[in-house]
C-alpha cells in the first residue's frame, strides 16, 4: 500500500497528514500539527518561514517513526506571500505577511499607473490590498533588484526540499500578475514592477512530479524517501478540490481564517459587474476556475479570542453566542478596518457605535455579532453569485474548520434558505492528497476523488428551518443597508 502525505499550512496552523486508500475508502491520520502566525517587528509583520520548514522536517521524521518508508508528498499554504532568492539560491531577507500595512500606499500608486479596471480585465483577480502585485510594488527596490527569483511560499518550501524552482499556477494566479488570455505572467504588469519574466520560474501545473526529496535531507534528518508531487499549492484551490460535491449545482464555502465563498467554473467570469462586486477568478487545477469572494472569516473570532487572552475555547464562544439574542449588532465583515486592527473587539465595538447599533459588550455578544454577520454575508454573497453566474446552487458545501461550528452552519442554512452540507473539516489536506493520487494513477480524476471523499467522511446536513421568518427578513434588510452605507 502506498502512502500519501499532505503538508497543509494555513495562517494559524499547519499539519502533516497521511492519507491511506484501502478497500475503496480514504482515511486520514494526522502525523504532526504546529502553530503558525505572523509577528510584528519594527512596525512590520513577518512569517517565521524557518519555523515552518523545521516543522515540516519534524513532521517527516515523525512519519518515518510511524513506519512510512516511502511516500509522495504535496504542499499547500495560504496565497499571495513570497520569498526572494539571491544568485546563490539563498533567501534574501524576511518574508512579509500579507496583513502588513506596507501596501496601503502602494495600492493607489499602482492604480495611478495601471488602473484597477485594466488589472482586472487582464487577470480577473479581485482587489485585495495585499495581492502580490501591490506587495512587490511596495518592496524595497534594491532588494528586489538583487533577487534572482521570486517564489511564493509553497514554491519556496518545495525548493527547500527538492532544489527545484516552480511557480505553481493555482497560487501564482493570486499574485494578480497572470494574464487570463496568454496564461502566463503579464508583461505590462511585470513592467510596472520593473521585473523581467525570468524573476519567476515557469508556471507549473498541479500534479507535476518534481522528483525526489534531497538525499542529504533524507540522510541527515532520517526522513522517508519522498517523491514530491506538485499539489494545488494554494490552500483554497486544494480545499475546493476536496469538496465532496456531486452534480453541478453547488457552491462552496471554505471556512477557515478566511471565508471563501464561490462556485467552480469552466471559464472565468471577468465581467464589469463581477469586477464591480469584486469577485475573483482564481485558477484551479484541471482547467477549472474558482469564481469566489473573500470574506473575513474566522479571523474575526480568532482575534477576539486573543483579546480575551484565550480564556474561552472556540466551542465556548459559540455556546456563549447562542445564549445571546440574534441580530442585535451587525458588522460589515469585509470593512478594511478589520484586516489587522490593534484590538479586534474594540474595532467591532467602534463599528457598532459609529453605525448607531447597540455596542456588544460580553464575549458572547461580540461572538454573536460576528457569527450573525458572517451568516448574513454568506446569504448576500450567495445571492450575488447567483445573479452574476445565472445559476442557483442547490447546496452549499461548508468545508474547513468552520464546518465544525454547527450553530453557524445552521444559521447559514436558515438565513440563506439553502441546504448546507458541512464537512469534511480537512478538505484542504484531502484536495492536496487527491492530486497526488491522480498523479500517481491511484484514482482517475477529481470526480472520482470527490466521490471517494463523500464515501469516506461524515457529512452533516443542515436544512433551513422555517421560511423567511420576520427577524431574519428584518436583519437581512438592515445588513444590506449596512453594506451599502
Ligand atoms: C486562505 C487564503 C485565501 C487568500 C488568503 C491570503 O488561507 O489562501 O485564499 O486570499 O489566504
The mean per-residue pLDDT over the stretch 339-360 comes to: 98
- Does the pLDDT at position 136 exceed 60? yes
pLDDT value of residue 470 = 78
- Does the pLDDT at position 381 exceed 60? yes
CATH architecture of residue range(s) 3-229: 2-Layer Sandwich (3.30)
- Does the pLDDT at position 313 exceed 90? yes
Angle between helices 314-322 and 363-389 (to 10 degrees): 90
Nearest residue by C-alpha to atom 8 in ligand 1: 78
Reported as a pLDDT band with limits 50, 70 and 90, residue 380 is very high
Identify the three-state secondary structure at position 167. Answer: strand
Integer Cα distance of 455 and 414 in angstroms = 27
CATH number of 243-423+444-485: 3.30.420.40
Is the pTM above the cut of 0.90?
Answer: yes
Reported as a pLDDT band with limits 50, 70 and 90, residue 146 is very high
Q: Beta strand pairing status for 225-229 and 289-296?
A: unpaired
Residue positions forming the annotated binding site for ATP: 11-15, 257, 302, 401
Is 10 near ligand 1, meaning CB less than 6 Å away? yes
C-alpha cell at position 444: 482517475
Nearest residue by C-alpha to atom 1 in ligand 1: 78
The proportion of the chain whose per-residue pLDDT surpasses 70, expressed as a percent, equals 99
Domain 3-229 and domain 243-423+444-485 have a common topology: yes
CB distance 170 to 205 below 8 Å: no
Mutate-to-test residue for ligand 1 from 126, 174, 241, highest number of ligand atoms within 8 A of CB: 174
Q: What is the pLDDT of residues 180-233, one digit of tens each?
A: 999 999 999 999 999 999 999 999 999 999 999 999 999 999 999 999 999 999
C-alpha cell at position 350: 467602534
Reported as a pLDDT band with limits 50, 70 and 90, residue 2 is confident
**How confident is the prediction for the chain on average, in pLDDT?**
97
The mean per-residue pLDDT over the stretch 160-184 comes to: 98
pLDDT value of residue 354 = 98
Is 479 near ligand 1, meaning CB less than 6 Å away? no
Mutate-to-test residue for ligand 1 from 8, 36, 236, highest number of ligand atoms within 8 A of CB: 236
Nearest residue by C-alpha to atom 9 in ligand 1: 236
Active site residue 155: no
- Pick the catalytic residue from 81, 100, 235, 372: 235
- Does the pLDDT at position 469 exceed 70? no
* 470 Cα–ligand 1 center, Å: 35
Q: Rg of the chain's alpha carbons, rounded to an integer?
A: 22
pLDDT value of residue 471 = 87
CB distance 133 to 175 below 8 Å: yes
Q: Which atom of ligand 1 is nearest to the CA of 234?
A: 8
- Does the pLDDT at position 447 exceed 60? yes
Mutate-to-test residue for ligand 1 from 37, 99, 235, highest number of ligand atoms within 8 A of CB: 235
Nearest residue by C-alpha to atom 2 in ligand 1: 78
pLDDT value of residue 425 = 97
The mean per-residue pLDDT over the stretch 58-86 comes to: 98
Is 297 near ligand 1, meaning CB less than 6 Å away? no
Integer Cα distance of 152 and 175 in angstroms = 9
Name the residue ranges covered by the structural domains of the chain.
3-229, 243-423+444-485
- Does the pLDDT at position 64 exceed 70? yes
- Does the pLDDT at position 467 exceed 70? no
Integer Cα distance of 320 and 330 in angstroms = 17
- Does the pLDDT at position 272 exceed 60? yes
Reported as a pLDDT band with limits 50, 70 and 90, residue 468 is low
Nearest residue by C-alpha to atom 4 in ligand 1: 79
Reported as a pLDDT band with limits 50, 70 and 90, residue 1 is low
pLDDT value of residue 241 = 98
Is 38 near ligand 1, meaning CB less than 6 Å away? no
* 88 Cα–ligand 1 center, Å: 30
pLDDT value of residue 125 = 98
String of b and e for 153-191 (b: at least 16 CB within 10 Å)?
A: bbbbbbbbbbebbbbbbbbbbbbbbbbbeeebbbeebbe
Give which of 381, 362, 359 is closest to 308, Cα–Cα: 362
Amino acid at each position: 500500500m502506498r502512502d500519501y502525505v499532505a503538508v497543509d499550512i494555513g495562517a494559524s496552523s499547519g499539519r502533516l497528514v497521511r492519507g491511506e486508500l484501502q478497500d475503496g475508502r480514504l482515511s486520514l491520520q494526522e502525523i504532526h500539527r504546529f502553530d503558525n502566525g505572523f509577528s510584528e517587528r519594527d512596525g512590520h509583520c513577518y512569517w517565521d518561514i524557518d519555523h515552518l520548514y523545521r516543522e515540516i522536517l519534524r513532521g517527516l521524521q515523525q512519519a518515518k517513526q510511524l513506519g512510512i518508508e516511502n511516500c509522495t508528498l504535496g504542499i499547500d499554504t495560504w496565497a499571495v506571500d513570497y520569498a526572494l532568492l539571491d544568485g546563490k539560491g539563498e533567501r534574501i531577507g524576511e518574508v512579509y505577511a500579507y496583513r502588513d500595512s506596507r501596501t496601503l500606499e502602494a495600492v493607489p500608486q499602482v492604480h495611478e499607473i495601471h488602473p484597477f479596471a485594466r488589472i482586472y480585465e487582464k487577470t480577473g483577480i479581485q482587489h485585495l490590498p495585499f495581492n502580490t502585485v501591490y506587495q512587490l510594488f511596495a518592496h524595497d527596490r534594491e532588494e528586489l533588484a538583487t533577487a534572482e527569483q521570486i517564489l511564493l511560499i509553497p514554491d519556496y518550501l518545495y525548493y527547500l526540499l527538492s532544489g527545484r524552482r516552480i511557480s505553481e499556477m493555482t497560487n501564482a494566479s493570486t499574485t494578480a500578475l497572470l494574464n487570463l488570455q496568454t496564461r502566463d505572467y503579464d508583461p505590462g504588469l511585470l513592467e510596472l514592477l520593473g521585473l523581467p519574466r525570468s524573476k519567476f520560474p515557469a508556471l507549473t501545473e498541479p500534479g507535476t512530479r518534481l522528483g525526489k526529496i534531497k538525499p542529504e535531507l533524507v540522510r541527515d534528518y532520517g526522513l522517508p524517501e519522498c517523491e514530491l508531487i506538485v499539489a494545488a499549492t494554494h490552500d483554497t484551490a486544494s480545499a475546493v478540490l476536496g469538496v465532496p460535491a456531486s452534480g453541478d449545482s453547488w457552491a462552496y464555502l471554505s471556512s477557515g481564517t478566511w471565508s471563501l465563498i464561490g462556485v467552480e467554473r469552466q471559464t472565468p467570469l471577468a465581467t464589469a459587474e463581477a469586477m464591480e462586486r469584486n469577485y475573483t477568478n482564481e485558477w484551479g487545477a484541471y482547467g477549472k476556475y474558482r469564481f469566489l469572494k473573500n470574506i473575513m472569516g474566522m479571523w474575526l473570532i480568532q482575534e477576539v479570542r486573543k483579546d480575551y487572552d484565550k480564556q474561552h475555547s472556540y466551542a465556548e464562544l459559540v455556546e456563549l453566542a447562542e445564549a445571546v439574542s440574534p441580530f442585535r449588532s451587525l458588522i460589515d465583515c469585509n470593512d478594511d478596518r478589520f484586516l489587522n486592527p490593534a484590538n479586534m473587539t474594540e474595532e467591532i465595538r467602534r463599528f457598532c457605535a459609529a453605525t448607531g447599533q447597540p455596542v456588544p459588550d460580553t464575549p458572547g455578544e461580540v461572538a454573536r455579532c460576528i457569527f450573525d454577520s458572517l451568516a448574513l454575508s454568506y446569504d448576500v454573497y450567495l445571492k450575488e453569485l447567483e445573479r452574476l453566474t445565472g445559476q442557483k446552487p442547490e447546496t452549499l458545501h461548508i468545508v474547513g474548520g468552520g464546518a465544525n461550528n454547527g450553530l453557524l452552519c445552521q444559521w447559514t442554512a436558515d438565513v440563506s434558505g439553502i441546504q448546507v452540507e458541512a464537512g469534511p473539516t480537512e478538505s484542504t489536506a484531502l484536495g492536496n492528497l487527491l492530486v497526488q493520487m491522480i498523479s500517481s494513477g491511484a484514482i482517475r480524476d477529481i470526480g472520482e476523488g470527490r466521490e471517494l471523499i463523500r464515501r469516506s467522511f461524515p457529512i452533516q446536513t443542515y436544512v433551513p428551518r422555517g421560511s423567511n421568518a420576520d427577524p431574519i427578513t428584518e436583519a437581512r434588510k438592515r445588513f444590506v443597508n449596512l453594506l451599502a452605507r
